[in-house]
Amino acid sequence: GKTLADFGAEVIKIEPPGKGDPLRKWRLLKNGNSVWWEVQSRNKQSVTLDLTQREGQDVLRLLVKEADVLIENFRPGKMEEWGLGYEDLKKLNPRLVMARISGYGDRPGFGIIAESMGGLRYLTAEPGRVPVRVGVSIGDTLAALHGVIGILMALYHRDRDASGGEGQVVDIALYE
């Protein structure tokens, strides 16, 4: 979302009620927000929705009717549990592109473990020593960039179709 927003897309970030996205208070704080939050959420608008409740789900459905792209990174299957899976949402907006990011495609995961399983940590190791973490969340960053490429290709494909074009799902797994 950050990269798309940097290039001018209108991005609406949905945060849970209460304290919002945990990234707001992660590590070093400046003026009450984490520096990392300021970096990752720049150029975005935020809205609070409780997607576990019908009212929050209904607001998301209203947003989806007008959206080009929906990016989600819940545990696989969670959106379907809420009646917000791609098959449900494309009935509201057949042109919707939905990007789904998970650890392994069919199950959740965490960046550092996916980096190990994908072989990235092997590349940073030295003989006889434990693999070292790359200085940034490289697995998350690479997955996000591949997500952006997939989203842009899906939009291109959709908009190139002379008959009006349909959206599609872009599925990104951290370990890939």
Kindly state the tokens that stand for 18. Answer: 């209460």
Q: What is the pLDDT of residues 13-27, one digit of tens each?
A: 999 999 889 888 888
- The Cα-based distances of 17 to 47, 79, 93 in angstroms read 9, 18, 26
Name the pLDDT band for 154 (thresholds 50, 70, 90). very high
Per the annotation, the verdict on 50 as an active-site residue is no
Name the pLDDT band for 32 (thresholds 50, 70, 90). confident
Q: What is the pLDDT of residues 47-104, one digit of tens each?
A: 999 999 999 999 999 999 999 999 999 999 999 999 999 999 999 999 999 999 998 8
pLDDT at 156: 96
Q: Residue 169, CB half-sphere, CA atoms under 13 Å: how many?
A: 14
The one catalytic residue in 50, 68, 88, 140 is 140
pLDDT at 108: 83
Query: What rounded mean pLDDT belongs to the chain?
Result: 92
- Its pTM surpasses 0.85: yes
Q: What is the pLDDT of residues 122-150, one digit of tens each?
A: 888 888 888 887 777 888 888 999 999 99
